[in-house]
Amino acid sequence: MEQRTDAYESTLDAREIEGEPFDDIMAALEELPADGTLLLINSFEPEPLYDVLETRGFRYETEQVGPQEWHVEIQEA
């Protein structure tokens, strides 16, 4: 997986969001171009998000890049 955050159309660092980041993630996905990729950065693997992404027609690839840093690349399927 690509590690450079500037290689994506959109980057959302959920670690900077106070409270539940779900609405922010969904808003970022709504603004994503059809062929674009959202890089979601989180402090844990966001397993509960995966079913939602699949249901809404997105595919994802997840990689742990540090002890408390996970990167999830999200694209339309």
* C-alpha–C-alpha distance, residues 39 and 28, integer Å: 10
- For range 13-41, the mean pLDDT: 95
pLDDT in tens, 33-65: 989 999 999 999 999 999 999 999 999 999 999
Show the tokens assigned to 73.
């690349």
Reference 13, options 65, 57, 58, 56; nearest CA is 65
Domain covering 5-76 in this structure, CATH number: 3.30.110
* C-alpha–C-alpha distance, residues 64 and 70, integer Å: 4
Check residues 1 and 8 and name the one with the higher pLDDT.
8
**Amino acid 77: pLDDT:** 92
